[in-house]
Amino acid sequence: MVTDSTADLPRELIEEYDIHVVPLTVHIDGEVFEDRVTITPAEFMRRLTATSTFPTTSQPSVGRFQEVFNRLAEEYDAIISIHISSRLSGTYQSALLARDTINGRLPISVIDSRSTSMGLGFAVLRAAKLAKAGYDLATIDRATRRAMESIHAVFLVDTLEYLRRGGRIGRAAEIVGTVLQLKPILRLEDGVVVPHARTRTRRKATAGLIELVRDFPRIDQLAILTTSGSSGAERVADALADRCPRERMIFAELSPVLAAHVGPGALGVIVYEGDAPLSVEEVP
């Protein structure tokens, strides 16, 4: 089971399901760091708020994926590799190219999650649980793709400037948010960031985020995400506790790579509507 560092999975889940995480890279103030490996979310946010330059990020190299796949080929008979949306990063493409150079050593399924953070994380967990239960690669691949249809990501940012500079949202949306001093609510749609609503204060934006999540007909699990040091997670959790008990919620900080694109003060919620049942033919 392979994913990348933008999945924002808690360490205990990574260890429980033997998930192998390939880090992206973040560049800030002339230094280069491996996401969550050589820099933590807290240290990155400290640097981000102290600098006048905007950070940049880069995908893992094809060679990095080749290393991981070749190492895992010594231990496993198949690999499933699930990654951040190909419309947000070239990570998926790097994994595909690496798979094609393995020369058939073992079956490798590479999936574009069309999401990121715990939107990616929930897809990875679905696959990892099935792998641990002994399902074959084809079944895991199909079930993971079905699970992706039940995952929804919504979030708010204090400014769209970081997304604009990183090329993750259009200039027109940034102008509306900045000139009118609005606090936008955003969502991931088909793997890309799109505006959902505009509010004038963070308090109203948080309320709008909560109402948007409450409107989902089914909520099996939630992930509540913040950039390091941001507020609002507890307010969101309390407001949604009647729709999803706290034991079904995951709280996490956004990775430095994602924080580089949303900036300080980001707050997000990932909704997982739940697992689709497997067919009789898919049950081992």
Among residues 42, 25, 50, which one has the least CA distance to residue 257?
A: 25
pLDDT in tens, 51-94: 988 999 999 999 999 999 999 999 999 999 999 999 999 999 99
Higher pLDDT, 78 or 176: 78
- Beta 79-83 vs 108-112: how paired, if at all? parallel
Q: With a cut of 70, say whether residue 140 has pLDDT above it.
A: yes
Model pTM? 0.94
Q: At what angle do helices 62-73 and 91-101 cross, to 10 degrees?
A: 50
The region, left, alpha or beta by phi > 0 then psi within -120 to 50, assigned to residue 54 is beta
* pLDDT at residue 164, as a whole number: 81
Which residues neighbour 33 within 8 Å (Cβ) at sequence distance 6 or greater? Answer: 25, 26, 27, 39, 44, 256
Note the pLDDT of residue 176: 57
Please tell me the predicted confidence (pLDDT) of residue 255: 97
pLDDT in tens, 199-223: 889 999 999 999 999 999 999 999 9
Per-residue model confidence (pLDDT) at position 172: 43
Residue 189: DSSP 8-state: E
Calculate what percentage of the chain has a pLDDT beyond 70.
93
CA distance 266 to 206: 10
Under the banding of pLDDT at 50, 70 and 90, the label for residue 197 is confident
Q: CB neighbours of 59 closer than 8 A, spacing ≥ 6?
A: 24, 25, 89, 90, 91, 93, 94
- Give the chain's domains with CATH numbers: 2-148 (3.40.50.10170), 151-272 (3.30.1180.10)
Per-residue pLDDT, averaged over 172-192, amounts to 74
Evaluate whether 160 touches 184 at the Cβ level (below 8 Å): yes
Residue 29: pLDDT over 80: yes
Residue 180 has pLDDT above 60, yes or no: no
Please return the burial class of 52, using the count of CB atoms within 10 Å of its CB with bins 0-12, 13-18 and 19+.
Answer: exposed
183: pLDDT strictly greater than 60: yes
Q: Across the chain, what does the average pLDDT equal?
A: 92
The predicted pLDDT at position 17 comes to 97
- Whether residue 179 is predicted with pLDDT greater than 60 in this model: the reply is no
Can you tell me the distance from the alpha carbon of 195 to that of 205, in angstroms, rounded to the nearest whole number? 12
Give the residue among 85, 202, 88 at the shortest CA–CA distance from 155: 202
pLDDT at 282: 61
Q: Would you state the pLDDT for residue 126?
A: 98
pLDDT at 34: 98
Residue 262, pLDDT score: 93
CA dihedral sign, ordered 27, 32, 33, 39? negative
DSSP code, position 28: E
More confident residue, 124 or 276: 124
Do 190 and 87 meet the contact criterion of CB atoms below 8 Å apart?
yes
